[in-house]
Structure 1
Amino acid sequence: MNSLFDKNNNVAILVAGIIAIVVGVGVARFAFTSLLPFMLEDFLSLTNAGIMASFNFAGYLSGAIFSIFIKDINTKVKYFRIGMVLSIITTLVLATTTNETLWIASRVIAGFGSAMVLIVGGALVMVKLNFEDKTKAMGIHFSGIGFAILISELISQYILKDGSWADAWLALAIFAFIISFYSVYILSFDKEIKQEAIKHKLSKSVFTPYVILLILAYFTEGVGFVVQGTFLPDIINSLKGLDGYGSIGWLMVGIAGIPSSIVFMRLAHNYGSVNIIILAMALQIVGILIPVLSTNIYLNLLSGALYGSTFIALVALFMHLGGRLAGNNPVVLMGSMTAAYGVGQVGAPLYSVALIEYFGDYNSTLYLTAFIVFVGILLLVYAKKIENKR
């Protein structure tokens, strides 16, 4: 048991990383999706929900780009802690107010906090882990996103049995506050670490046509991630005969997400990253289109499972591939990829809301999103052609 409180124990480091993701991504980001149907019934308009999702991703994008420039490991520890605090405070704002301006501001700040926890926290986990090959370990770390969705959803649903969505937010904030101490303790260093920062010249040569196509494909995945990531429970609830099943659909997202990055990273190792990215994006398209084509409960739960298993794996796959291609310049390429994904994330909720308001249902939004992800697949197929000719 003592080893779980040893800052240099690999298991403790991975557990602390997953707990951090539960706070920064589960509570501060995805609980909004699971509680959205209840807030829509009460006071929130769908348009404002879409705007809040977009602002949340804008906050995340700014944090992601900011995190690229934090070189010093001691500064990383500081910003990781700031991210944890922001994740908890912004959740409290949702629990205690219904002022939509405050909510929008809190979603932006929560987005920034999530980036500090996921990206800077992920970097701390990477530095602290003592493994020869850290790829598998990072697959385990990313499984935290599935746990984050599952745990925040279970807490929300438990509180909603007798309480309101505001009570659920409060419970999530208290839960996040309690568990955050462990992550903050483990993901730190006993003394200031003096690191000689190796300076690599910023090289444009990394941006080959192949890499540019990858970045554009990752932009389409940013779009593919958002629509279900924001509206999935409400999409399922809006289908004939499926009202109330949205929360089960969202549970499926979490359950399917837990093993996904580990499984897909293994497949990528055996069959090539780009091939497996194409497979995952094709499965995601099937998941996006199911609610348009069927009101069958099992198929729509499968839609949630396909979404959960692909979106987490795709982040891990693209980032791993980017890191490999970047060589000595991971920061520049990771930053460009994250920015492209982020632009997709910020734009998608806005066109979604416009189409939903205009047509009165989710169908046109889902068709357009599936089409954009399909364009991403075409870009990757073309990228493979270029690469094979070299």
Structure 2
Amino acid sequence: MNAASPSPLRLAFAGMAALAVAMGIGRFVYTPILPGMMEELHLTPADAGWIASANYLGYLVGALAAAGGWAHGRERLLMFSSLAASALLAGLMGLNETMAAFLVIRFFAGLASAFVMVFMSSIVFSHLAAAGRGDLQALHFGGVGLGIAGSSALLAFLVTEHAGWSAGWLWSGVISLAGLLVVALLAGSATTANGVAGHEPALPRNNSLVKMIVAYGLFGFGYVVTATFLIAIVRQGGGSRVWMVAGLAGFPSTWLWQKVAGRIGLYAAYAVSCLIEVAGVSASVVVKGAAGPLIAGVLLGGTFIAITALGLQAGRQLAPRAPRRIFAVMTAAFGLGQIVGPIAAGLLAQASGNYTLASVMAAAALLASGFIAWSAAPKSP
């Protein structure tokens, strides 16, 4: 490792700040802003689903593009450029009012967030592996929860000030720019350590690997319904508080579930966390009053970031010689689920007048994901 490189802990904090901007804000601030957009712009649930899916399509395209060899040696430049783009695109959302503009902006925002996720993770994880500090990966992933909680606090304040939905996007852009500066200060000139040269081998022909890819796609479909519409489900005041609770629960979740995986096994931990998320998805529409969405926020936030990390970890374990390739395939499956989920949920909600059927559909997908992942555990010889 280069002597001038930041310490592993400092790099993990840089990764946390980067994911807080690109994922916690860049991808998920749409959730607390959505009710205001629906009310003031008269968007239907189907409209909201299409906008969300445009973002997830951008994420899918970005993740697949980022896995290509063309980016080798350019990871740092692409990561910082994408952080800047994420901030700019958030601001642009607040300056537009048409569906066409929303679809285009959120597509490119998804592309930017995928680039940050892939390239910052490759920089951080390569240094953590070289230093033998894989335990700090949980700190890196904690940035998603931190960004969700921070942006929710911002939205809660703006609501009390009677600011419109556009103010949420504009302030998100400002905070994202501040986050970019934090990442620059912490990461310094760090680039990937011990990069893999040349082409990776094809993925192994392995039933367990196929099952994990399918399970990951179903997880993408199942979690995203509640992640997109949770605050719209609330409908009354306190929506930002619910999403803040989700972010706070998400911050330590990867660390916690890694501990659980160490005790019961990676695949069992994935399955159990899916079951807990099913309870959260169900609570969002079954438990009446303010308690339901709050329970959903805690259980969703406490699982979805961790399941993302556990799934990728399982994929790397099953294809150790092709880490970039399996990251791309897993993310593609996840991304396809995310694209279909909000569209199907939005159309169901529009047709039925509530989110109950959509949530039942999401819960079924999560149950299937957990069961398939549990069955994918390689058998001991």
Aligned to 1:160: 159
Aligned to 2:97: 98
Give the secondary-structure state (helix, strand or coil) at the position aligned to 2:201: coil
Aligned to 1:124: 123
Is 1:252 paired with 2:245? yes
Give the superposed CA RMSD: 2.1
TM-score (norm 2): 0.93
Query: 1:151-172: CA deviations, max 9, x gaps?
Result: 1111122122222221222112
Q: Is the deviation greater in 117-126 or in 214-223?
A: 117-126
Q: Residues 254, 126 of structure 1: CA spacing in aligned structure 2 closer, same or farther, 3 A cutoff?
A: same
Q: Is the deviation greater in 322-331 or in 344-353?
A: 322-331
The alignment of Structure 1 onto Structure 2 pairs a total of residues equal to 376
Given that 2:60 and 2:114 are in contact with CA atoms closer than 8 Å, whether structure 1 keeps it comes out as: yes
Aligned to 1:187: 187
Is 1:388 paired with 2:379? yes
Aligned to 1:173: 173
Looking at structure 1, the residues matched to 76 and 240 of structure 2 have their Cα atoms a distance apart, in angstroms, of: 35
Aligned to 1:341: 334
**Shift of the alpha carbon at 1:24?**
0.8
Q: Residues 320, 201 of structure 1: CA spacing in aligned structure 2 closer, same or farther, 3 A cutoff?
A: closer
**Shift of the alpha carbon at 1:131?**
6.0
**Shift of the alpha carbon at 1:377?**
2.4
Given that 2:124 and 2:192 are in contact with CA atoms closer than 8 Å, whether structure 1 keeps it comes out as: no
Given that 1:62 and 1:112 are in contact with CA atoms closer than 8 Å, whether structure 2 keeps it comes out as: yes
Given that 2:67 and 2:324 are in contact with CA atoms closer than 8 Å, whether structure 1 keeps it comes out as: yes
The code of the aligned residue for 1:96 comes to L
Gaps of 5+ in 1: 1-5, 238-242
Looking at structure 2, the residues matched to 201 and 22 of structure 1 have their Cα atoms a distance apart, in angstroms, of: 30
**Shift of the alpha carbon at 1:56?**
0.3
Looking at structure 2, the residues matched to 365 and 267 of structure 1 have their Cα atoms a distance apart, in angstroms, of: 30
Aligned to 2:220: 222
Q: Residues 40, 132 of structure 1: CA spacing in aligned structure 2 closer, same or farther, 3 A cutoff?
A: same
Given that 1:160 and 1:168 are in contact with CA atoms closer than 8 Å, whether structure 2 keeps it comes out as: no
Gaps of 5+ in 2: none
Q: Alignment identity in percent?
A: 25
The code of the aligned residue for 1:65 comes to L
Looking at structure 2, the residues matched to 252 and 194 of structure 1 have their Cα atoms a distance apart, in angstroms, of: 36
Aligned to 2:347: 354
Looking at structure 1, the residues matched to 89 and 200 of structure 2 have their Cα atoms a distance apart, in angstroms, of: 38
Aligned to 1:265: 258
Given that 2:156 and 2:241 are in contact with CA atoms closer than 8 Å, whether structure 1 keeps it comes out as: no
**Shift of the alpha carbon at 1:195?**
6.8
Looking at structure 2, the residues matched to 210 and 245 of structure 1 have their Cα atoms a distance apart, in angstroms, of: 43
Looking at structure 2, the residues matched to 188 and 129 of structure 1 have their Cα atoms a distance apart, in angstroms, of: 16
TM-score (norm 1): 0.91
Query: 1:211-247: CA deviations, max 9, x gaps?
Result: 101111111100122111111111122xxxxx21322
Aligned to 2:141: 142
Q: Residues 262, 38 of structure 1: CA spacing in aligned structure 2 closer, same or farther, 3 A cutoff?
A: same
Alignment of 1:1-390 (within 5 A): 8-43=6-41, 44-70=43-69, 74-129=73-128, 132-162=131-161, 163-189=163-189, 197-199=196-198, 201-204=200-203, 206-237=204-235, 243-384=236-377, 387-388=378-379
Give the secondary-structure state (helix, strand or coil) at the position aligned to 1:213: helix
Q: Is the deviation greater in 100-109 or in 153-162?
A: 153-162
**Shift of the alpha carbon at 1:71?**
6.5
The code of the aligned residue for 1:342 comes to G
**Shift of the alpha carbon at 1:92?**
1.2
**Shift of the alpha carbon at 1:184?**
3.0
Q: Residues 201, 181 of structure 1: CA spacing in aligned structure 2 closer, same or farther, 3 A cutoff?
A: closer
Give the secondary-structure state (helix, strand or coil) at the position aligned to 2:198: coil
**Shift of the alpha carbon at 1:305?**
0.4
